[in-house]
C-alpha cells in the first residue's frame, strides 16, 4: 500500500512539473518566425495591410491609399507614367493639364480656346465625298460660319466677309490685283456697275456711258443720245441733232437736222438761225438787243472798202424808206413815198438824186439837190 501511495505521489509531482512547464512555455513570447528567401507563397497571404512593399517591378512608398483594384478595374488617384505602350480606350472625359505631343491626332470633333501652334500644314484628307465640304467651321452663335472647299468650280468658299489688314493686298500669280486704294495695273476687263469719282481716266476702244454717251473708236466720233453720230461730236434729242465737226479745211457747228439754231443767254434767244437760213438777232418779245460791230460790215459783197464801215450790193431800207443808187429813176418795182435813189452819175447842174413823191409801180419821182455849175 505504501508502495502504491508513493507511486501516486510521484505521478502527481510529475504532472505538477509538466503543468508548470506548460504554463511557463505559454507565458513566454512567441518567437519571430524566420523564413528563407522566396519561401512564402502568395496563397498564404490574405487580408491585412502590407506596408513598404517592394518587388523587382513594384515599390510601395505610399503613406495613403492611391490605387484601388476590384472587378470593375483599377482606380488610380494620380497616375505618373513615362510610356503607354498599348492602344488604350478612354471612356468618359479626359482632362490634360499640360502639353500633348502626338505624331498624329484623329478626332471627330475638337473644341479649343487656346492658340494652336503648328510646324506642319493643317491637312484635310479626302473621304468618300472627296475633299469638298471640308474646312473650318464656327458654331454655337447664330448660323454656322464656314470657310470650306467647294466644287463647280473648285474654290474656297466663305459664308462671311473677309477682312485683311490695311496695307495688305489680294494677289493672283504673285501680281497685286486689289489694294485698299486701287485695282492692280493688270486688270483689263470688268463689268463695274457703279464707281465713285474717277481721276485720270484712260480708256481704249469703244465707250458707252449709261446708254446715252457713245464713243466709237473706229469712227472717232462721240455721240450724246445717239450711237451713230453724224459729226465728231453730236448731241441728239428726239428729231434734232446738233453737231460739231472738223474737216480738212473747215470747222462746222450747228444743226445737222432741219431745225432752228439758237444762241441763248439767260435762257433767252439772242441769235436765231432759221432752218431756211434766215438769221434773227434778238427776239420779238423785246427790243433790248444791241449789235456792235467792231470792223467792217459787208452785205452781198466779198470785200468791203477800207474807206467805209458798211458796204451793200443792193438797196437798204431805213425806217421803211428804201435807199437805192442808180443813174436814173427806177422803171420797175414798187416804191413808197419817200424812197430815194442817189445819183451815181452826178455832174454839175445835175441832181443828187430822185425822191418818190407818189407810191406806185414804179411811182412818181422828182429830182432833188441840184448840183451847182
> 44 is written with which cell numbers?
498564404
Those residues with Cβ within 8 angstroms of residue 208's Cβ, 6 or more apart along the chain or in another chain: 214, 215, 227
pLDDT in the model for residue 46: 67
What is the end-to-end Cα distance of the chain in Å, rounded?
239
pLDDT in the model for residue 38: 66
User: How far is Cα 68 from Cα 78, in angstroms, rounded to an integer?
Assistant: 12
pLDDT in the model for residue 192: 80
Q: Which long-range contacts (CB under 8 A, 24 or more apart) does 64-69 make?
A: none
8 A C-beta contact, residue 373 and residue 359: no
pLDDT in the model for residue 331: 93
Peptide bond connecting 153 to the previous residue in cis, omega within 30 degrees of 0: yes
pLDDT in the model for residue 253: 93
pLDDT in the model for residue 71: 86
Give the C-alpha distances (Å, rounded to integers) separating 72 from 49, 69, 75.
21, 8, 9
pLDDT in the model for residue 51: 72
pLDDT in the model for residue 1: 66
Number of other CB atoms surrounding residue 326 within 10 Å? 15
Number of other CB atoms surrounding residue 369 within 10 Å? 13
Of 266, 291, 271, 294, nearest in space to 281 by CA: 271
CA atoms within 13 A on the CB side of 142: 4
Q: Parallel, antiparallel, or unpaired for β 279-281 and 155-158?
A: unpaired
pLDDT in the model for residue 372: 93
pTM for this structure? 0.48
pLDDT in the model for residue 362: 94
Q: Which residues of the chain have pLDDT under 70?
A: 1-3, 30, 33, 35-36, 38-48, 112-116
The whole-chain average pLDDT of the chain stands at 86
8 A C-beta contact, residue 245 and residue 251: yes
Amino acid at each position: 500500500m505504501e508502495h502504491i501511495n508513493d507511486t501516486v505521489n510521484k505521478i502527481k509531482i510529475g504532472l505538477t512539473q509538466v503543468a508548470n512547464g506548460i504554463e511557463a512555455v505559454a507565458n513566454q513570447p512567441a518567437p519571430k518566425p524566420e523564413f528563407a528567401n522566396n519561401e512564402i507563397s502568395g496563397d498564404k497571404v490574405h487580408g491585412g495591410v502590407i506596408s513598404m512593399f517592394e518587388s523587382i517591378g513594384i515599390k510601395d512608398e505610399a503613406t495613403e491609399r492611391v490605387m484601388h483594384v476590384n472587378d470593375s478595374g483599377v482606380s488610380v488617384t494620380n497616375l505618373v507614367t513615362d510610356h503607354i505602350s498599348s492602344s488604350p480606350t478612354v471612356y468618359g472625359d479626359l482632362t490634360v493639364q499640360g502639353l500633348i505631343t502626338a505624331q498624329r491626332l484623329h478626332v471627330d470633333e475638337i473644341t479649343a480656346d487656346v492658340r494652336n501652334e503648328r510646324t506642319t500644314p493643317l491637312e484635310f484628307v479626302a473621304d468618300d465625298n472627296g475633299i469638298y465640304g471640308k474646312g473650318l467651321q464656327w458654331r454655337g452663335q447664330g448660323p454656322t460660319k464656314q470657310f470650306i472647299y467647294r466644287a463647280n468650280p473648285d474654290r474656297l468658299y466663305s459664308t462671311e466677309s473677309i477682312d485683311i489688314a490695311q496695307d495688305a493686298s489680294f494677289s493672283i500669280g504673285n501680281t497685286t490685283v486689289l489694294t485698299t486704294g486701287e485695282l492692280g495695273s493688270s486688270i483689263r476687263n470688268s463689268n463695274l456697275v457703279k464707281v465713285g469719282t474717277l481721276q485720270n481716266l484712260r480708256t481704249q476702244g469703244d465707250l458707252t456711258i449709261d446708254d446715252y454717251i457713245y464713243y466709237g473708236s473706229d469712227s472717232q466720233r462721240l455721240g450724246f443720245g445717239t450711237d451713230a453720230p453724224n459729226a465728231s461730236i453730236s448731241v441728239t434729242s428726239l428729231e434734232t441733232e446738233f453737231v460739231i465737226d472738223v474737216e480738212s479745211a473747215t470747222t462746222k457747228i450747228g444743226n445737222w437736222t432741219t431745225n432752228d439754231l439758237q444762241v441763248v443767254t439767260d435762257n433767252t434767244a439772242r441769235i436765231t438761225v432759221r432752218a431756211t437760213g434766215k438769221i434773227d438777232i434778238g427776239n420779238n418779245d423785246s427790243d433790248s438787243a444791241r449789235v456792235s460791230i467792231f470792223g467792217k460790215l459787208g452785205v452781198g459783197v466779198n470785200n468791203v472798202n477800207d474807206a467805209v464801215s458798211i458796204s451793200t450790193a443792193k438797196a437798204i431800207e431805213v425806217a421803211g424808206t428804201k435807199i437805192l443808187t442808180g443813174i436814173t429813176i427806177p422803171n420797175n418795182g414798187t416804191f413808197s413815198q419817200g424812197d430815194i435813189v442817189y445819183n451815181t452819175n452826178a455832174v454839175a447842174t445835175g441832181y443828187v438824186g430822185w425822191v418818190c413823191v407818189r407810191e406806185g409801180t414804179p411811182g412818181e419821182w422828182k429830182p432833188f439837190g441840184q448840183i451847182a455849175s
